[in-house]
Amino acid sequence: MNPEALSAALLAVVAPLAEARRPGAAEGLTPADLPLERPKNRDHGDWASNAALKLAKVVGANPREFAADIAAGLTEVDGVAGVEVAGPGFINIRLDAAAAGALAKTIVDAGAAFGSNESQRGNTINLEFVSANPTGPMHIGHTRWAALGDSMARLLLASGATLVREFYVNDAGAQMDRFGRSVLAAAKGEPTPEDGYPGSYIDDLAQRVLSAVPDLLSLAGDEQLAVARDRAYELQLGDLQASLEKFNVHFDVFFSERTLHAKGPNGEPSLVDEAVDRLREQGHVFDDDGAVWVRTTDFGDDKDRVIRRSNGEYTYFAADAAYYLNKGDRGFAHKIYLLGADHHGYVHRLKALAGAAGDDPDKDIEVLIGQLVSVNGARLSKRAGNIIELDDLRDWIGTDALRYSLARYPADSPLTLDPEILRKRTNDNPVFYVQYAHARTHNVGRNAATSGVDRSEFAPELLTHETESALLGALQEFPRIVGFAAEVREPHRVARYLEELAGLYHRWYDNCRVIPLGDEPVEPVHRTRLWLNDATGQVLRNGLDLLGVTAPERM
């Protein structure tokens, strides 16, 4: 019996009892109103409910007496072995072995779909993360958001959301001209401009640009700079995309900032031009001293923002506004921004922008700020000179260890990674511990096949050992963990769950044999345990996939 079936059974018991005590009290009551929890102490049962405490005042009953009535009804439910009332009215429920063990077959039959849920169904989300300037390699800060953002996307999709992963390419503005001048100077063999970008990667880009455009240095001055800038930009963006793909991070959309400033073919207003007019229509734009302002203080910002200066030039805020509005035009009711540690000032600004656009700042936009990450013993990039590159980290630590470790902690906590631990093949390394558990399930399966143990029988009532009860209890939790992690945007909850599940599996492995000893015959319990073994492997595999980490079959 899974938690959903038990919740439905609980509702079927509670509703008529509530209605009998106070007519109309059960109207609109759903299983979601009667949540089940796993008791911290498994001696208290498989599930616990506070339904009596929650509804006692509504129905005018003593909580403990109401709980006793509910408990009596639940004892008649198939699959429930016993019910106890504890404290002021908590209800502890124990399932019989067959009802609990049936989950193993459910998981194996569901395969990769187990853990998927509908908690985010109906949400249309634009998830923007990384959004590095295309003027240099990906660095360690981008690496954390790449891992967290992609894992967050996987969780939301597994929970039923309609979602697009988006990378905002900052390819407009002064930094692109500085980038172009830096590459052109390197192509000419000249020193890096005073405000230019340092690092040997600029020299590499310059040589690649010269290979692609052999006559670059014979072009006129302005054209020379434009070609050097644009071709180097294409190459550097391609490098960024390749780094992300190697890190197992995929983006659905790379959105160019240039498109926000581009006029139509016949001189039609740009998206930035239109943004000013659209915000003015909402009543939150005013003119002062020749400049155009947005009254963002109406929505909690610390000051009003200039969107167009008195000289007619747009501010960065104008591009932010046009981009936000464009996301809504593309059908995204909910926008999530994942920003770096130096972007705290953007939180109120973007929320105020949502309000000025006519959206609900508390509902339609989320701005998440990630804290800094450091790596013990990491060296600065030889190519970039002043950063730790994603590619270097991946080559040094490994994609799996790096992704798992970055997803294992809340985004708002500073993080220091220890490569010495992350490269170890021991239980001190969390990703190895989880991956080894998965590989062990496959090893058990291979040995079982050699010994003639298959899944031709399934007798869940035989899964009675205490380690089997604990393992099944944890497996039941997986869909709830996925849904909750998606809701609170915290992939680390999946990582910590997987570590707990791996520990329970290892203890089960030490106590319950899938393969008979010596000349003992293969019995139904061995075949049934193979189902449980394979179910655990499936959940470990599904959980690792949500974190963008591989699940090796051999280690």
Residue 181, helix vs strand vs coil: helix
Closest C-alpha among 156, 144, 27 to residue 488? 156
What is the model's pLDDT at position 374? Answer: 86
Contact 81, 72 (CB under 8 A): no
Task: Looking at 286-340, list the stretches that DSSP marks H as alpha helix, in order from N- to C-terminal side.
Answer: 316-329
Residue position matching structure tokens 């581009």: 262
Query: Of the given ranges (154-163, 207-216, 386-395, 509-518), which has the lowest mean pLDDT?
Result: 386-395
Say yes or no to pLDDT of 382 above 70: no
What is the model's pLDDT at position 342? Answer: 77
Domains assigned to the chain: 3-95 (3.30.1360.70), 124-172+250-373 (3.40.50.620), 174-245 (no CATH), 424-546 (1.10.730.10)
Say yes or no to pLDDT of 71 above 80: yes
Task: Read off the pLDDT of residues 313-351 as tens digits, 9 standing for 90 and up.
Answer: 999 999 999 999 999 999 999 999 999 887 888 899 999
Task: Read off the pLDDT of residues 7-54 as tens digits, 9 standing for 90 and up.
Answer: 899 999 999 999 999 999 889 899 888 888 888 776 788 889 999 999
**pTM score of the predicted model:** 0.90
What is the model's pLDDT at position 383? Answer: 67
What is the model's pLDDT at position 470? Answer: 92
What is the model's pLDDT at position 39? Answer: 82
One-letter amino acid for residue 193 of the chain? P
Give the whole-angstrom CA distance, residue 136 versus residue 129.
17
pLDDT-based confidence at residue 381 (cuts at 50, 70, 90): low
Say yes or no to pLDDT of 86 above 90: yes
For the CA atoms of 314, 318, 322, 324, what is the dihedral angle to 10 degrees?
A: 160
Give the whole-angstrom CA distance, residue 351 versus residue 361.
5
Contact 17, 66 (CB under 8 A): yes
Say yes or no to pLDDT of 545 above 80: yes
Give the whole-angstrom CA distance, residue 376 versus residue 422.
11
Say yes or no to pLDDT of 99 above 80: yes
pLDDT-based confidence at residue 3 (cuts at 50, 70, 90): confident
Task: Read off the pLDDT of residues 45-56 as tens digits, 9 standing for 90 and up.
Answer: 888 999 999 999
What's the whole-number average pLDDT of the chain? 93
Tokens found for residue 530: 């193979």
Strands (E), 69-214: 80-86, 90-95, 124-128, 162-169
Tell me the average pLDDT across 389-415. Answer: 93
Query: DSSP string spanning 145-205?
Result: HHHHHHHHHHHHHHTT-EEEEEEEE--SSHHHHHHHHHHHHHHHTPPPPTTS--SHHHHHH
Within 8 A by CB and 6+ apart from 321, the residues are 272, 275, 276, 279, 294, 307, 353, 356, 357
